[in-house]
């Protein structure tokens, strides 16, 4: 066995943020110091933790003198800055300053990266500084290195991710217990899986930020969260969930990024987040509760999936520490920093360019010619039907039946127009459910 070559010169780490993840990072840096020194090739020394209040009790309590409200002097003395404050400011300014000083930065701040990742990468490149951010996507799931390095000789065609544990938990409860959205949300809040203000989760904003970062890595093009079309799960009803289950599907909030050819014939990427039915036998369907998963399709590799805890202090801290050790290793070894550069230009296309399919459940009059007229609406928009099933009467003695229609893939705009026209059709008494379908 080769002995590790540990230099005596310690690498100094400044930690910004003392919350759930920050506390776990402080714990690992303290308790696993020997293992980290062996892996990094030099001891990692935690210089201090910048926090808003030095009085607050932390999940992992360091000696009082380790906490400071002054981030800048802490950064000045550090080789590696670990930013776990969250939010745009002051995180952005502090990270920029550290990168300009040539310091390595590790961040788990997805909101910041999804808005300002391109600028930050450019600053890092300009100053030869390392910028690492594995923890910003899908918690502890190692997905950035596989996308950036392992698949660098391949062409990713599509990513579908369950990138938010809160919504996955809620949809899971709706599926397995028949709960409606409000009750499932209340349960998630009680169990601590959802925040008091669940907007960022249930409206899909958190997932959208992750899609922007994943797509940037997968397609070598910088995307912002503003280019991700986003629809949350607040409109999903117990009826939607039951209809999906009845058809052999389960509803998941998916973040999807895929290569498409736009209307003008040029290649681009469609980035979207929306509730999606996936077949029960699809690997994503088995992802339960607060777990996350990212499903990747590549030209040569085929279908890959990465699965793990999507959040939580210790799992996210594991991802942060993986970056810290990698960054430290490079500082020890020397050599130029690896910088992210855009190597392609795959512009974001309008979400209406997406190709998807939908399941539509309608209540219609139980009369001759109805099926033909409904089918005619689909045909009129160039949408072909994969399966149509007529259920028994919706209420005893009434002259109504339910129709369940699953389409083949079609353009989103054509699917939207089809549903619009169905709503106005006189034989249609009601549109019970419209949910997109992927992974058939």
The CA-based dihedral angle spanning residues 410, 415, 416, 417, taken in that order and rounded to the nearest 10 degrees: 110
What 8-state DSSP symbol labels residue 224? Answer: -
- Least separation in angstroms between CB 105 and a second copy: 16
Give, for 392, the enclosing helix (H) or strand (E): strand 385-393
- Least separation in angstroms between CB 20 and a second copy: 13
**Residue 15 interacting with a second copy (CB under 8 A):** no
**Residue 304 interacting with a second copy (CB under 8 A):** yes
DSSP characters for 233-295?
STT--HHHHHHHHHTTEEEEEEEEEEEEE-TTS-EEEEEEEEEEEEETTSGGGG--TTEEEEE
> CB atoms < 10 A from the CB of 289, how many?
14
- Residues 6 or more apart in contact with residue 263 via CB below 8 angstroms: 353
Exposure string of 232-250, with b = 16+ CB inside 10 Å and e = fewer, is: bbbebebebbbbbbebebb
For the chain, how big is the Rg over CA atoms in Å? 25
* 176 versus 394: smaller Cβ distance to a second copy: 176
* 139 versus 198: smaller Cβ distance to a second copy: 139
**Active-site entry in 103, 210, 252, 440:** 210
**Residue 344 interacting with a second copy (CB under 8 A):** yes
Contacts of range 173-182, beta carbons closer than 8 Å, 24 or more positions apart: 174/236, 174/238, 174/241, 174/251, 175/241, 175/244, 175/245, 175/250, 175/251, 178/238, 178/241, 178/242, 179/238, 180/237, 180/238, 181/233, 181/234, 181/236, 181/237, 181/238
Q: What angle do CA 405, 410, 413 make, to 5 degrees?
A: 100
Q: Please report, for residues 106, 223, 269, 305, 354, the alpha-carbon distance to residue 348 in angstroms, rounded to integers and kept in the order given.
A: 27, 7, 5, 24, 11
**Residue 177 interacting with a second copy (CB under 8 A):** no
**Residue 43 interacting with a second copy (CB under 8 A):** no
User: From the list 142, 262, 279, 289, which residue makes contact with a second copy (rule: CB under 8 A)?
Assistant: 142
User: From the list 315, 359, 401, 412, which residue makes contact with a second copy (rule: CB under 8 A)?
Assistant: 315
What does DSSP say about strands 355-365 and 11-16: parallel, antiparallel, or unpaired? unpaired
Stretch that binds a second copy, among 159-167, 320-328, 353-361, 404-412 (CB under 8 A): 320-328
Stretch that binds a second copy, among 47-55, 256-264, 322-330, 389-397 (CB under 8 A): 322-330
User: From the list 39, 115, 173, 272, which residue makes contact with a second copy (rule: CB under 8 A)?
Assistant: 39
User: From the list 162, 278, 317, 348, which residue makes contact with a second copy (rule: CB under 8 A)?
Assistant: 317
> Hey, which residues does 267 pair with through a beta bridge?
261
User: From the list 220, 232, 255, 268, which residue makes contact with a second copy (rule: CB under 8 A)?
Assistant: 220
Residue 110 annotated as catalytic: no
User: From the list 167, 318, 402, 407, which residue makes contact with a second copy (rule: CB under 8 A)?
Assistant: 318
Asked whether the bond before 90 is cis by omega within 30 degrees of 0, the reply is yes
**Residue 423 interacting with a second copy (CB under 8 A):** no
User: From the list 76, 101, 149, 246, which residue makes contact with a second copy (rule: CB under 8 A)?
Assistant: 149
Stretch that binds a second copy, among 87-95, 189-197, 312-320, 422-430 (CB under 8 A): 312-320
**Residue 58 interacting with a second copy (CB under 8 A):** no
**Residue 308 interacting with a second copy (CB under 8 A):** yes
* 198 versus 315: smaller Cβ distance to a second copy: 315
* 19 versus 312: smaller Cβ distance to a second copy: 312
| CB of 358 closer than 8 Å to CB of 390 | no
Which 81-140 residues touch a second copy, going by CB under 8 A? 122, 125, 134, 140
Backbone angles phi, psi at 109, to 5 degrees: -90, 90
- Least separation in angstroms between CB 295 and a second copy: 9
Q: Show the binding pattern over residues 261-300: x = contacts a second copy (CB under 8 A), - = does not.
A: ----------------------x--x-----------xxx
Which 150-169 residues touch a second copy, going by CB under 8 A? 150-155
Maximum Cα–Cα distance for the chain, whole Å? 86
Residues in the interface with a second copy (CB under 8 A) total 69
**Residue 398 interacting with a second copy (CB under 8 A):** no
What token pair was written down for 440?
Answer: 């058939």
Q: 3-state SS of the chain: helix, strand, coil percent to 5?
A: 40, 25, 35
Contact footprint for a second copy (CB under 8 A): 1-2, 4-5, 24, 28, 32, 35-36, 38-40, 122, 125, 134, 140-142, 144-146, 149-155, 220-222, 283, 286, 298-309, 312, 314-315, 317-326, 329, 333-336, 338, 341-345
Q: What residues act catalytically?
A: 210
């Amino acid at each position: 066995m080769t002995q590790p070559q540990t230099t005596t010169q310690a690498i100094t780490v400044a930690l910004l943020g003392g919350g759930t993840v920050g506390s776990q990072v402080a714990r690992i840096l303290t308790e696993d110091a020997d293992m980290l020194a062996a892996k990094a090739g030099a001891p990692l020394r935690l210089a201090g933790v910048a926090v808003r209040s030095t009085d607050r009790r932390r999940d992992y309590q360091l000696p009082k003198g380790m906490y400071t409200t002054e981030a800048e002097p802490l950064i000045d003395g550090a080789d590696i800055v670990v930013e776990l404050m969250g939010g745009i400011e002051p995180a952005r300014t502090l990270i920029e300053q550290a990168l300009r000083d040539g310091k390595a930065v590790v961040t788990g701040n997805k909101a910041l990266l999804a808005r300002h990742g391109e600028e930050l990468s450019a600053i890092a490149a300009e100053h030869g500084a390392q910028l690492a951010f594995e923890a910003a996507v899908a918690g502890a799931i190692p997905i950035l290195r596989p996308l950036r390095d392992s698949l660098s000789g391949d062409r990713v065609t599509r990513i579908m991710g369950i990138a938010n544990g809160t919504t996955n938990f809620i949809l899971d409860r709706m599926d397995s217990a028949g709960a409606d959205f409000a009750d499932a949300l209340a349960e998630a809040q009680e169990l601590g899986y959802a925040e008091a203000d669940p907007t960022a989760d249930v409206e899909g904003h958190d997932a959208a930020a992750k899609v922007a970062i994943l797509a940037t890595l997968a397609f070598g093009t910088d995307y912002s969260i503003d280019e991700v079309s986003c629809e949350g799960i607040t409109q999903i009803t117990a009826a939607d969930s039951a209809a999906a289950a009845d058809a052999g599907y389960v509803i998941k909030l998916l973040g999807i990024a895929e290569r498409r050819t736009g209307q003008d014939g040029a290649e681009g990427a469609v980035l979207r987040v929306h509730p999606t039915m996936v077949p029960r036998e699809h690997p994503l369907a088995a992802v339960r509760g607060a777990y996350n998963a990212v499903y990747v399709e590549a030209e040569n590799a085929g279908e890959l999936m990465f699965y793990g805890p999507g959040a939580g202090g210790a799992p996210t801290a594991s991802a942060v520490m993986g970056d810290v050790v990698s960054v430290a290793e490079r500082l020890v070894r020397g050599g130029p920093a690896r910088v992210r550069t855009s190597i392609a230009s795959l512009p974001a296309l309008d979400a209406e360019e997406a190709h998807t399919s939908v399941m539509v459940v309608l209540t219609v009059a139980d009369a001759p010619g109805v099926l033909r007229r409904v089918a005619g609406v689909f045909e009129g928009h160039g949408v072909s039907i994969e399966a149509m099933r007529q259920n028994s009467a919706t209420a005893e003695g009434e002259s109504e039946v339910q129709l369940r229609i699953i389409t083949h893939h079609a353009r989103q705009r054509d699917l939207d127009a089809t549903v619009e026209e169905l709503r106005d059709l006189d034989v249609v008494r009601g549109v019970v459910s419209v949910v997109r379908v992927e992974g058939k």
